[in-house]
A and B are shown apart, each in its own frame.
Chain A
Amino acid sequence: MATSLNLISRTITFFEEIGDITLFAIRYFRAILMPPFEFKELLRQCYILGYRSILLVGVTGFILGLVFTLQSRPTLMEFGAESWMPSMVSISIVREIGPVITALICAGKIGSGIGAELGSMRVTEQIDAMEVSGTNPFKYLVVTRITAATLMLPLLIVFGDAIALFGSALVENLKGGVSFTLYFNKVFEALSFSDVIPATIKSFFFGFAIGLVGCYKGYYCKKGTAGVGEASNMAVVYTSMLLFVIDFIAVFVTDIFFEV
């Protein structure tokens, strides 16, 4: 009985949280359209969220392309289809693996970072102080971070995809003697707009989700240091789940419009 009640209570809390996040998102859209606009902070957040993630995304993308090619190579060789490697790797990375992996990494780095930062600000009452001082903390802290994440993630994904394809080309060049020119010729022969455009659009939603959940968890952080940790942790967990849900929806929508 107690378990059932606990489950019902959790379900209600879950839906309440979804409702809260939705309201938080609506508040964001309202705030972004109304001045004042915090451009300076937006640029700073873009630098922090975007530029400072390049190394992580680059290394991850390079290893992703490298490992993916190395693992696929024996199977393709078994069928005598090594020439299909650029097509297979490029379509996989550009359509799905690149955006999702990069978004998950960013969820870990950016989402948790935003959650922890805003959480600690909430705990140390910096946000309250901002309200008292007449600065709109939502505009200054939340809108800039969500917008920065929404804008930077597509660029990070493009960058990550390019590095991953370079890693794959490097393996093909070293193992199969395929020139970089031939490899990228095959890549662009295999790719089409229906591969790149949906993935790019999807990546904006990924960025928005990472920023939104991170900011929400941090902004409404419970009091105490444990609350900061929980906010950081839950930001990553919720964002990761939300990324897969968005990806699932994106695949459906892409299927309808582009007939994949």
Chain B
Amino acid sequence: MSKAANQKLKLGIFVMLSTLLLVSALYFIGNRQNLFGKNIKLHALFYNVNGLQLGNNVRFSGIDVGTVSKIAMNNDTVIRVEMSIRESIQTHIKKNAVATIGSDGLVGNMIINILPREGITMPVVSGDTIETYSRIGTDDLLTTLNVTNENAALLTADLLKITTEIVEGKGTLGMLITDSLLADDLRQTIVQLKRSSVAANQTLAELNAYFKEVRQSESVANLLLTDSVSGEKMKRIVSNLEFSSDEMVEITAGMSQVIDDIKESDGALNYLTNDKDLVRNIDSTMINIKESTRRFNENMEALKQNFLFRGYFRKLERQQKRDEKKQTREDRN
């Protein structure tokens, strides 16, 4: 091989190799951007694309399946994003899939994530518009953090004021911390409280023991506490008592009515109860009756002694004796 031919060969290899490298690089870059092969177009509408750019990746369940091919304002508020998706993925993306704009890592490029949802629906076709979901952006997070920081600043300012007043001995808490006398009083109070609690414990223990005894004994209290039949009886008794008390109330009311009637009427009872002269007359009458009775007894005794009536009285005595003897014989038999 001549020198010129050798040079040509080497040059040809170099040129081919370098050209191949350039073409390969362009092919791989183009392939990454889905410029070669069959693609479908999907659309998504967003209110905010958060800096999404042409050529940013589109991922379906975390796999790179395409790129953003167009971003355009649909109207004043809505932005239409067109995605170029590999046709081989088409069957896996369903019509109910949701597109969200996210970030590839903390400081990475913006990407569109297409997330599948449950449910059986048809696969997307080229030109479909899928639903979108706006995640909380970094700006929103920072706004929330800003509000939180402002609140935290207010809280710390208040807290500082409170702690300063406490240190200065102002307010109840400050007094509690700084006043030694109050501390002694508090200590004594706590001691007293301890004692009280000990006493309360003892009392409770006694009460427990008492109730235990009550439960174990056959007393009425235990019966009332434990026997459901007795309880029912007690309920009935109480019920009857209530009924009786109601009856008593009615009777009392009737009595009261009767008494009122007696008081208000012109009958004998009202006269007897209210007329004092009558009482005095009755009293003197009774005295006169007693006196008359005494004198009548005297007269009767005088009659017994009188010969005209003596026979009659003796006859009565004999009859009485005979009755007694007869009674005695009957008792013996």
Contact = CB atoms under 8 A, between A and B. Distances in A.
Contact of B10 (A40, A47, A81, A200): A47
B30 interface: yes
Interface string A136-164: 00000000000000000011101100100
B211 interface: no
Q: Chain B at the A interface: mostly helix, strand, loop or mixed?
A: helix
A191 B22 CA distance: 13
B222 to A, nearest CB: 78
Interface string B1-41: 00010011011001101110110011011111100000000
B55 interface: yes
Contact of A192 (B19, B29, B107): B29
B32 A188 contact: yes
Contact of A189 (B11, B17, B32): B32
Nearest to B30: A193
A44 interface: yes
Contacts, number: 63
Contacts of B57: 189
A156 B29 contact: no
Nearest to A94: B25
A41 to B, nearest CB: 11
A51 B30 CA distance: 29
A50 interface: yes
Contacts of B55: 192
Nearest to A53: B14
Contacts of A191: 25, 29
B15 A159 contact: no
Nearest to B24: A162
Given A43-B11, A188-B32, A196 B26 contact: yes
A159 B7 contact: no
Given A158-B22, A162-B21, A50 B15 contact: yes
A188 B26 CA distance: 9
Contacts of A188: 25, 28-29, 31-32
Nearest to B23: A158
Interface residues of A, number: 24
Interface string A20-47: 0000000000000000000010011011
Given A43-B7, A47-B8, A193 B19 contact: no
B29 A196 contact: yes
A184 B276 CA distance: 137
B11 A47 contact: yes
B11 A156 contact: no
A192 B54 CA distance: 11
Given A47-B8, A191-B25, A155 B14 contact: yes
Interface string B172-190: 0000000000000000000
Contacts of B10: 47, 51
A193 B26 CA distance: 7
B110 to A, nearest CB: 14
Contacts of A81: 107
Nearest to B16: A155
A154 B19 CA distance: 9
**Which A-B residue pairs are the 6 nearest by beta carbons?**
A155-B18, A188-B28, A47-B7, A47-B11, A158-B22, A51-B14
Given A51-B11, A155-B19, 9 more contacts: A40-B4, A44-B4, A47-B8, A158-B18, A158-B21, A158-B22, A158-B25, A188-B32, A189-B57
Interface of B: 4, 7-8, 10-11, 14-15, 17-19, 21-22, 25-26, 28-33, 55, 57, 105, 107
5 contacts: A44-B7, A50-B15, A54-B14, A193-B26, A193-B29
